[in-house]
A = this chain, B = another copy of it.
Amino acid sequence: MGNQKPSIPKGTRDFGPEEMAKRNYIFNTIKEVYALYGFQQIETPAMETLKTLMGKYGEEGDKLLFKVLNSGDYLSKVSDEELAERNCLRLASCLCEKGLRYDLTVPFARYVVMHRDELQLPFKRYQIQPVWRADRPQKGRYREFYQCDADVVGSDSLLNEVELMQIIDTVFQRLGIRVQIKINNRKILTGIAEVIGEADKIVDITVAIDKLDKIGLDNVNEELRNNGLSEEAIEKLQPIISLSGTNDEKLNVIADVLQSSEVGVKGVEETRFILDCLKTCDLKNEMQLDLTLARGLNYYTGAIFEVKALDTPMGSITGGGRYDNLTGIFGMPGLSGVGISFGADRIYDVLNTLDLYPKEAVTTTELLFINFGECETAYCLPLVTKARQAGIRTEMYPDKAKMKKQMSYANAKGIAFVALAGENEMAEGKLTLKNMKTGEQKLVSIDELIREVK
């Protein structure tokens, strides 16, 4: 290949040591909280059969799947005609049997169906793995990115919703990010549409209501009118548009408006139950009922969640909801579930912007032994071992390089302590320990050094 200048595929990223340390801090925090709530981790293969993936993400999604060329003689089953036809989509299904996973939900559904006999229901699983989408790369959007999903399947209980809100609250509390947790319910939105007799206008209505603060009530009503809502419908919507106060006050207003809609009443009851339970759960972040929250409407059937950071503008950093019939497409009907997904890339950006990474999370090596040559390293080697046995992340600079170079290595890696042993130290059986922050130096035994560094 010669002296090529290497690159990586567009939309993909390398993660260097500092980025990895920060990302691990996020992932580990999420994992620990998931485990605290009894969720168990699974992993599925990067490649799924195209049979599993195709038709699950709409027509657009099918196009965004990365397809993997069959290995070996991948042309053997393709006729001359099929080749000559040059139909990319049709030909792809001949050339490829596998694709890269597009999300974690479809592989999870496939997993549940394949392992139905081993699984204890309700099954609380979490999964943190990369997914791939052939989206047009743009700022903040990647072709490879991690999803961090938790779902409970096989239980209709709203206690699962309660628990997932607690998980969200705990994760962001541990990360030090102040958030607002928004909750809505698909059934409430359906109820609203029913009551005003405009079943297909849910999205228009939520979009218009969402603009209240910006454009004022008159303009919202005007927009609804332009969207084809009748004056009667707009009249009925007024209490909903001007909704304010506590969650309980809002729920009372909504309950009043929706009393004629069975599904609407159900949505109010569900939301009330979830919010009432959460009052006893010592949440650190605010729960807010927000009727304009309308994510995943062709997917979610009950509660809908979304999380926004309070101290920096950023889109949704976590979301989720309740869905029906996760596994029906794979021949196992009637299994509903509820899940959430943390947006690791956005959380990463929030932590960076607010400078919230704890120092321990990003420090790697704590102690560096300077290399003065063969005789000195022979003296140091057992001491290095002792420091490590005491749990101190320790390096010995491998080469007898100039002091300046070794010191700049320590600085570049953010190493807090440097140990030096020359003739004098060796004669006394000791070391000089330098605190890289204060510049302070002292002569110490290895035991003293360990106490000092720890």
Contacts and interface: CB of A to CB of B under 8 A. Distances in A.
Interface of A: 1, 3-9, 12-17, 20-21, 24, 35-38, 40-49, 51-52, 54-55, 63-64, 66-69, 71-75, 80, 83-84, 86, 88, 91-92, 95-98, 100, 110-111, 113-115, 118, 120, 122, 124-125, 130, 132, 134, 144, 152, 155-157, 159-160, 162-163, 166, 170, 277, 280-282, 329-331, 364-365, 368, 371, 377-378, 381-382, 385, 388-389, 391, 393-396, 398-399, 408-409, 412-413
A75 B49 CA distance: 22
Contact of A42 (B16, B69, B98, B162): B16
A9 B97 contact: yes
B47 A20 contact: no
A281 B97 CA distance: 52
Contact of A12 (B1, B47, B144, B330): B47
Contacts of A130: 46
A9 B52 CA distance: 10
Given A66-B68, A120-B409, A329-B1, A36 B97 contact: no
Specify which of A281, A371, A408 lies most central, judged by the most chain B CB atoms within 10 Å of its CB: A281
Shortest beta-carbon contacts, A-B, top 4: A17-B40, A12-B45, A38-B395, A3-B331
8 contacts: A6-B52, A8-B49, A8-B114, A17-B42, A36-B388, A68-B69, A162-B381, A166-B385
Contact of A118 (B16, B36, B42): B16
Given A55-B1, A166-B385, A41 B24 contact: yes
A100 B71 CA distance: 12
B364 A17 contact: no
A163 B391 CA distance: 16
B385 A16 contact: no
A439 to B, nearest CB: 21
Given A9-B97, A49-B9, A280-B382, A14 B42 contact: yes
Contacts of A52: 6-8
Contact of A43 (B15, B124, B368): B15
Nearest to A109: B6
Contact of A83 (B83, B100, B132, B396): B83
Contact of A37 (B122, B329, B388): B388
B45 A20 contact: no
A53 to B, nearest CB: 10
Given A9-B97, A95-B95, A46 B398 contact: no
Contact of A35 (B134, B364, B385): B364
A42 B20 contact: yes
Contacts of A382: 280-282
